[in-house]
């Protein structure tokens, strides 16, 4: 198992435009930012990368934790680590789960938790905030994560990776226990960075939400005034 811990320091934290939820602008203090890379073939096969972060107020940084499987046996181990991570975060007063189109990730990890008889369901433990749905509520149209990042001016350091290519990689890992030993370190790093930037983007979005995603006020139609009617009313 590849375990990766990273700290991303946030300079000059500004909460002025933070997403308002539960009448709070500081949910980031009690939130997790969550994303999975996975392999599905007719049904969920495995979590390939588990990625989650939270904001550490004392250090003013995002603390990112990632697990990536290296062989078939670790498809179970990564679920154990995920459950342990979530329980630890619950014990540290984290109660919001921030995702983008999170129902897909929930469906996959909940299916696998159930398959391996691990008693955990994310929706029963956390209050879910799906940024795609929050966008749709206001804009009345759908959007993808990368397109939304552009609206926020978020520039990625990593190359984009398609879900199909990630699925092929995890398929090979599940079929060949030696595959990860042959995989270039650059490719492993690329996958981890891609996942990390997903969870980091979610943090930046909720912190600048009210500045970028503005509620459009309905246009007030100008009424045509009939001068004759005004004159009659004045008589």
Total residues belonging to the chain: 235
Q: Where are the alpha helices (DSSP H) in the chain?
A: 74-91, 102-115, 122-125, 131-139, 145-151, 163-175, 179-182, 185-207, 209-212, 227-234
Query: What pLDDT is attached to residue 7?
Result: 96
Q: Determine the Cα–Cα distance for residues 235 and 222; give it in Å rounded to an integer.
A: 25
Query: What pLDDT is attached to residue 166?
Result: 87
Nearest to 199 by CA among 93, 85, 116, 121: 85
Query: What pLDDT is attached to residue 113?
Result: 96
Q: pLDDT band for position 234 (50/70/90)?
A: very low
Domain 2-234 listed as CATH 3.30.420 = yes
Residue 140, CA distances (Å) to 98, 110, 119, 148, 188 in order: 20, 29, 36, 14, 38
Query: What pLDDT is attached to residue 223?
Result: 45
Contact 17, 209 (CB under 8 A): yes
Q: Determine the Cα–Cα distance for residues 207 and 213; give it in Å rounded to an integer.
A: 11
Q: Which of 10-24, 62-76, 166-180 has the highest mean pLDDT?
A: 62-76
State the DSSP code for 192. H
Nearest to 57 by CA among 82, 27, 37: 27
Give the start-to-end residue ranges of the domains of the chain: 2-234
Task: Read off the pLDDT of each residue in 93-122 and give the average, rounded to a whole number.
Answer: 94
- Over the stretch 158-169, which tens digit does the pLDDT of each residue have? 666 777 788 899
For the whole model, what pTM was predicted?
A: 0.87
- Helix H or strand E encompassing 53: strand 43-56
Nearest to 75 by CA among 112, 107, 117, 119: 112
């Amino acid at each position: 198992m590849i375990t990766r811990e990273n700290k991303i320091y946030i300079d000059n934290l500004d909460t002025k435009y933070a997403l308002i939820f539960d009448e709070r602008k500081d949910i980031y203090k009690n939130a997790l930012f969550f994303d999975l890379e996975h392999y599905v073939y007719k049904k969920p096969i495995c979590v390939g990368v588990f990625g989650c972060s939270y904001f550490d107020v004392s250090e003013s940084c995002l603390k990112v934790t990632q697990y990536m499987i290296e062989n078939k046996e670790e498809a179970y181990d990564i679920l154990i680590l995920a459950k342990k991570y979530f329980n630890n975060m619950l014990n540290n007063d984290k109660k919001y789960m921030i995702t983008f189109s999170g129902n897909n990730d929930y469906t996959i990890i909940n299916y696998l938790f159930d398959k391996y008889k691990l008693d955990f369901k994310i929706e029963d433990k956390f209050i879910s905030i799906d940024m795609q749905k929050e966008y749709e509520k206001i804009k009345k149209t759908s959007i993808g994560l990368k397109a939304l990042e552009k609206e926020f001016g978020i520039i990625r350091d990593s190359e984009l990776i398609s879900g199909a290519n990630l699925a092929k990689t995890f398929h090979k890992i599940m079929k060949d226990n030696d595959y990860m030993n042959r995989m270039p370190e650059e490719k492993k790093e690329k996958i981890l960075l891609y996942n990390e930037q997903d969870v980091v983007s979610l943090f930046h979005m909720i912190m600048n939400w009210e500045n970028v995603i503005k509620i459009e006020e309905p246009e007030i139609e100008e009424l045509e005034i009939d001068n004759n009617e005004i004159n009659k009313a004045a008589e």
